[in-house]
Chains A and B, each alone.
Chain A
Amino acid sequence: MTTTTSPVLNANGVTMRFGGLTAVRSVDLTVNSGEIVGLIGPNGAGKTTFFNCLTGLYVPTEGSVSYKGTVLPPKPHLVTQAGVARTFQNIRLFANMTVLENVLVGRHTRTKEGLWSALLRGPGFKRAEAASKERAMELLEFTGLAHKADHLSRNLPYGEQRKLEIARALASDPGLLLLDEPTAGMNPQETRATEELVFAIRDQGTAVLVIEHDMRFIFNLCDRVAVLVQGQKLIEGTPDVVQSDERVIAAYIGTPFEGAPGQEEAAEVEAAEAQQGTRPSGAPKSTTARTEDGQ
């Protein structure tokens, strides 16, 4: 917290190949403590794959990931234990557990009570359970879900499910929080609330690495932004630098013709689209649309 320059996460030449397909190609990324770093890129750029490499769900083909100087083992539960927590792009709550129980599961690595202590129910067990519940309720207060502690998580509205995922991840007292599209499907108000929440998390001393498509969100939020295109890191820098980088615009929007930007090109694209009926890949287009909305 005090020193803002010490690296929390250090990814070194991370490469992930699935057979012949290279999803992530030697990506370096550093997250310093007290920093919010954004990771953007067109769909299919390998952002989530990179996340999975960081959290041990995938074992990177090459390269290493270290957290505060120690190399992370390629096992998800050990990564979490080390201090890297994550949320998922498609919400993966324990749907049939209560909100409180979800957060308590997040406390798993920070508690030790095993089967014997559960069976014998000594004073130590009761103290640990009480402490866990207290911490979980704190986190629910923090994310604004305390009044729904006894509800089943599947019955929460979408935005609150996202919040609960964050609360659950925070329960493991992480030094680094990885958020995979935390505002996907949210309305502007919810997005703004999430922004506040991420700032609050940062202020508590947890570094944050966030994948997002919402450009306004990411450029407001992040201290640094890295752009991933086709598995490779294109550029990394402050939001201003990234925003004005031509390659980024090209990756998202496409390369303009020399000397004839604007209307003419747009008309050409439209004509080509009309001819083809469907675009070969519809996904980048949607991202583009959202970028334009955002700016």
Chain B
Amino acid sequence: MTTDTSKTTGENAPTGGRPTMLRAITAAGGLASVASTFLAWTWTSEFPGDLTFNGYPGGLQLLTLVLGLLTTLFALSAMDVRGLGWLTPAGSTQALRLMALGTFATTWFTVIAIAVDLGGLANWEPGAWVAAIAGLIPAVAAFLLPNDARPLKRPAKLPSWAEILIIAAVFAIGLYVVNYGIQTDADDPEPFLGYLIATGFAAAALFKAGVVTRLSALTAKYRSVTLIAALVTAVAFPFTQNKASYTELGVNILVFATVALGLNIVVGLAGLLDLGYVAFLGVGAYTAALVSGAGSSTLDIHLPFWAAVIAGAVVSLIFGVLIGAPTLRLRGDYLAIVTLGFGEIFRIAVLNLDGTSGPSVTNGPNGIPNIPPLEIFGFNFGEDHTVLGHTLDTNANYFLLMLLVTIVVVLVFSRAGNSRIGRAWVAIREDETAATAMGINGFRVKLIAFALGATLAGVAGTVWAHVQSTVVPEQYVFAGPVPPNSTFLLAAVILGGMGTIGGPLLGATLLFLIPKKLEFLQDYQLLAFGIALILLMRFRPEGIIPNRRQQLEYHETGQLDVPDQPQLSGNAVGVTKAEA
């Protein structure tokens, strides 16, 4: 890889003229794309987003605008324009190609969608022609550029307030991007598909440019600032929504992300393949439903929320230990089979505990509806509240409550993972024989992971029962088109990246949001899901946000793991790290 780089840069130096010209063309193409978005692309507002205005962009044009602008900036950065070097610390060409391709794909997707939706090229206004050609130019030009991938440059020294400001800005932009996706209209698939194309290419380009690496170094440097920023962003989320359906999406995503993160302890850290994890969510949800005063609950008690949470956690813990104790002595595949069986047993048992097939506990297939909304310190979660001039609906209330649970799970994950017990989990996953020879009681350590995962799912389940205000057994299947199901949760963990915190959160967001927005696929959703997973396993088996270990496991990238020299100062490492 290193020889490759030096070779290309060697070629680059003498023939400086042509690449510079190509980059200039790319920049111009990007600008042309930007300009085209100020024209009308079609004549009728029937196409979603209303692209009929001259003078300002709208709908899908906005995506082309942003990508075109980014392409221009990247091209200028590649031309060594002062002040833009930070955009491409790890080489510009690959990033520029992806960005240009993203502009091209988004623009062409839009104009083709116009033609297909409205029936023919006759529906293109001149603006659409301009956009199509303007989108093509940078894509072609960028592909003629020589590769200039290089090792990451050392970042420029910035004052710390500026670095903190960058972190804040990144989170703000992140919130905006997520909101843009959530708030696209679910009735028409075009805006969301365009959004997916645009964000996908832009994210890949930023990654290739080295910006993502640089940012993660920055967030690692200011950990507490990053945590606060993440928290503020999450709290701000419900305040930036104006429709109940959006906050509902938000709270659902948060619940499943939290459950996926709990599963990540079991799968990602301890390496135990749990195919029935959703059952623990179900145990928690049913426990909460039974003790929270629902009319059809067979238990005539109404515990306060904190007691319901504890009950849900304890019952899930008991189930976790009951399932884990006999099976965790086994290795590998047996556990997967047994947990798969347990997941189904839970669902069928709940179906049958209806008073006719078995004792009356769960109302069978009818479930337990009308769980009364929560009330904590007089704050009724079922009512709208106006906070800071913004009305929080019931979903927003639960979102904020769920956020607390998420924070707890994140804390548990990071603290347990980075400790004696977490190292034992990873050791067991890496080599169980060697781990036991190092004095680790494999069974005990695995059982702790399994029970901890079950408990966290149970806690999330208690909140989820209230969010849904009803529990039915058919939600807790192994695989199905509607989350939660065990396959969905596992896929979220693997898609996002095993063993990381951000991975399952991102994975669950994508896996929940995409099917919700692409409902036109209907029965083909599962097919698309399967194809997507196969492609992911082929091209990025370590997940979108890999942890360092997985990344190295799947891709031999030479010296990637060699840490920066300043960190290596002998004995001091252990001490400083331990204190941090």
Contact = CB atoms under 8 A, between A and B. Distances in A.
B430 A114 contact: no
B570 A115 contact: no
B579 A130 contact: yes
B501 to A, nearest CB: 15
A152 B548 CA distance: 10
20 contacts: A75-B436, A76-B437, A85-B437, A92-B434, A93-B434, A96-B549, A97-B423, A106-B439, A114-B421, A115-B416, A119-B416, A125-B419, A130-B579, A132-B420, A137-B571, A146-B571, A151-B562, A152-B548, A152-B552, A172-B439
Contacts of A141: 570-571
Contacts of B550: 96
A96 B437 contact: no
B224 to A, nearest CB: 15
Contacts of A136: 574
A171 B420 CA distance: 14
Contacts of A118: 415-416, 419-422
Given A93-B431, A108-B427, A149-B573, 17 more contacts: A55-B437, A57-B433, A85-B437, A94-B434, A96-B549, A104-B423, A105-B435, A115-B452, A118-B422, A119-B416, A126-B579, A133-B574, A141-B571, A150-B568, A152-B552, A152-B561, A154-B552
Contact of A133 (B416, B427, B575): B575
Closest 5 CB pairs of A and B: A109-B439, A118-B419, A80-B439, A133-B574, A130-B578
Interface residues of A, number: 55
Interface string A93-136: 11111001100111111010111011101000110111011101
A108 B438 contact: yes
Given A55-B437, A133-B578, A119 B412 contact: yes
B448 interface: yes
Contact of B441 (A77, A105, A115, A137): A77
A86 B437 contact: yes
B416 A97 contact: no
Contact of B578 (A85, A107, A126, A171): A126
Contact of B430 (A55, A95, A104): A95
A109 B438 CA distance: 8
B473 to A, nearest CB: 32
B155 to A, nearest CB: 20
Interface in B387-420: 411-412, 415-416, 419-420
A249 B563 CA distance: 51
A279 B12 CA distance: 60
B567 A105 contact: no
**Which among B421, B436, B442, B574 has the greatest number of chain A C-beta atoms within 10 A?**
B574
A43 interface: no
Contacts of A128: 420
Contacts of A169: 438
Given A94-B426, A94-B430, A105 B438 contact: yes
A212 B550 CA distance: 35
B424 interface: yes
B416 A106 contact: no
A211 B430 CA distance: 25
A151 B452 CA distance: 30
Contacts of B419: 113, 117-118, 125, 129
B549 A115 contact: no
Nearest to B430: A94
B383 interface: no
Contacts of A93: 431, 434
A101 B442 CA distance: 17
Nearest to B563: A150
A97 B553 CA distance: 11
Interface string A132-166: 11101100010000110111101100000000000
Contacts of A146: 570-571
Contacts of A85: 437-438
A108 B573 contact: no
A57 B432 CA distance: 12
B562 A97 contact: no
A12 interface: no
Interface string B543-558: 0000011101100000
**Which among A105, A137, A147 has the greatest number of chain B C-beta atoms within 10 A?**
A105
B440 interface: yes
Interface in B4-45: none
Nearest to A135: B574
Nearest to B551: A96
A150 B567 contact: yes
A111 to B, nearest CB: 6
B415 A121 contact: yes
A202 interface: no
B574 A134 contact: yes
A108 B430 contact: no
A78 to B, nearest CB: 8
B511 to A, nearest CB: 26
Nearest to A168: B438
B154 interface: no
A99 to B, nearest CB: 11
A94 B439 contact: no
Nearest to A165: B434
B82 interface: no
A244 B430 CA distance: 44
A97 B438 contact: no
